[in-house]
Amino acid sequence: MSQMNRRRALQLLAALGTTGLTAACATDGDDGPATPTGKPVKIGLIAPQTGGLKAIGDEIVNGFQLYLTLNGQQLGGHPVTVVTADEGETAKTGKAAVDSLLKQGVLALTGVVNSAVMVGIRDTVEKARVPLVGSNASPKSLQSVVYIWRTSYVLDEPGRAIGPYMAQRLPTGSRVAIIAPDNLGSRDVIQGLQAQFSTAGTGDPRIADPVIWTDTSSTPGGTAYAADIRTALARQPDAIFCHFAGPAAVQFIKQLYREGWTGPIYAPGFLTEGTVLDEVQEVEARNIVTALNYSADLNNTANRTFASAYRKTHGASPTTYAMASYDAAQVLDKAIRLAGGDPTPQQVNLALGKIGQIDSPRGAWQFNQPRTPQQKWYLRKVQRDGQVLSNVLINELATLG
């Protein structure tokens, strides 16, 4: 899509702001939201409310609430109360959040940003037999679960999606320096990259150098990555591959440029999601190419409704975090409706396996056997779009899941 067409599309979205909300809320003609037919239900939403992951937590809350706003504060014909709990940044704090919500009698759970938290709460959720429709964290190791579903991705998929593209773009004899915080999510992402970089897999000499593991803080200081970046640049790489998000992404991008790097940067799209591009300069981010399961400028009916309503409500473009949480609400809407007038958590969980294809802002998707999405992945490049830096959609990369 050209810059002129993209600007025209955004103008149309803005113009659709009011009508989009009205159309999305209506169920039969112009009569507005349907009258609730079931008893009130509670949904427990787990998200970080402090720390470096708070911005992602806010997006998750925003996305879920937007779906409710567009659908009369109902799910499956039932009035909904959303009860939130602070995920924190550790498995212990995440478990405390889940325990608190379960004691309040929630019908289902959603949210969860941190992969370590998701792993830490697995047994609690499975034992409670209350479905969790996770909207972000999805480590590869989370397998053979019955009550945990995810509307996001599996964390090795961003690397699997962008690996073949990088292999095609980088000539024989080039070198990639891989830099990431030493945590579960990074290991999954990098494993996916190594597995799909080329037919040579992990033996490809272009990605053979050892990974440079960095500080794992979600709120790193202004020099937290400097020494590791110097180690990477000493290898004289032709490209950088990294995995950061939120404040850590801002600091990494700034410190990488400060240390003299002006070459290509490849990453999962988390590197430039949310407010990251508001906090970096164009010169610092101009060579960043990312892979993600969503782009705010996707041209489909569901995204036009979602993105227009999100911009109207929050004054910013939506992220994959908000989109996946919006879809979590949509998934629960369908499942609760299938479960009937007096649903139990177990009935909702069974219904989740029967909902079929989801008409999502990311494009149509459906749950696969491991309870994660089978979905498209997109290539995006940081470019100036009018007056702001944006993640501009380039093309489709793959269908994974």
| pTM over 0.85, yes/no | yes
The answer, yes or no, to whether residue 13 has pLDDT greater than 60, is no
pLDDT of residue 21: 34
CB-CB contact of 184 with 216 (8 Å)? no
Q: How far apart are CA 112 and CA 121, in angstroms?
A: 10
Q: What is the mean pLDDT of residues 63-89?
A: 97
pLDDT of residue 387: 83
Q: Which amino acid is at 33?
A: P
Of residues 219, 210, 226, the one with CA closest to residue 244: 219
Tokens of 301: 């009916």
Give the three-state DSSP class for 285: helix
Q: How far apart are CA 16 and CA 32, in angstroms?
A: 17
The answer, yes or no, to whether residue 30 has pLDDT greater than 90, is no
The answer, yes or no, to whether residue 48 has pLDDT greater than 60, is yes
pLDDT of residue 34: 63
Burial 207-216 (b: 16+ CB within 10 A, else e): beeebbbbbe
The answer, yes or no, to whether residue 333 has pLDDT greater than 70, is yes
Q: Which amino acid is at 120?
A: G
The answer, yes or no, to whether residue 22 has pLDDT greater than 80, is no
Q: Which residues contact 96 (CB under 8 A, 6 or more apart)?
A: 88
pLDDT of residue 61: 98
Share of the chain above pLDDT 70, in %: 90
Digit-coded pLDDT (tens) for 155-214: 999 999 999 999 999 999 999 999 999 999 999 999 999 998 865 445 799 998 999 999
Work out whether the CA dihedral 315, 319, 321, 322 comes out positive or negative. positive
Tokens of 100: 């608190």
pLDDT of residue 24: 38
Phi first, then psi: what are they for 178, rounded to 5°? -105, 125
pLDDT of residue 385: 84
Q: How far apart are CA 159 and CA 20, in angstroms?
A: 35
Q: How far apart are CA 77 and CA 336, in angstroms?
A: 8
The answer, yes or no, to whether residue 42 has pLDDT greater than 90, is yes
pLDDT of residue 217: 93
The answer, yes or no, to whether residue 27 has pLDDT greater than 70, is no
pLDDT of residue 33: 58
Give the three-state DSSP class for 44: strand
Digit-coded pLDDT (tens) for 84-102: 999 999 999 999 999 999 9
Tokens of 193: 């990259």
Beta strands in 78-160, from DSSP E residues, in sequence order: 78-86, 108-111, 132-134, 148-150
Q: What is the mean pLDDT of residues 382-386?
A: 89
The answer, yes or no, to whether residue 6 has pLDDT greater than 50, is no
The answer, yes or no, to whether residue 62 has pLDDT greater than 90, is yes
Of residues 139, 92, 131, the one with CA closest to residue 113: 139
Q: How far apart are CA 304 and CA 274, in angstroms?
A: 19
Q: What is the dihedral of CA 90, 95, 100, 102, to 10 degrees?
A: 150
Q: How far apart are CA 101 and CA 272, in angstroms?
A: 32
The answer, yes or no, to whether residue 81 has pLDDT greater than 70, is yes
- Per DSSP, 358 falls in state B
pLDDT of residue 198: 67
Tokens of 349: 């969980």
Q: What is the mean pLDDT of residues 357-377?
A: 97
Q: How far apart are CA 276 and CA 272, in angstroms?
A: 5
Confidence of residue 144 (pLDDT cuts 50, 70, 90): very high
Q: Which amino acid is at 194?
A: Q
Share of the chain above pLDDT 90, in %: 85
Confidence of residue 147 (pLDDT cuts 50, 70, 90): very high
The answer, yes or no, to whether residue 241 has pLDDT greater than 90, is yes
pLDDT of residue 11: 40
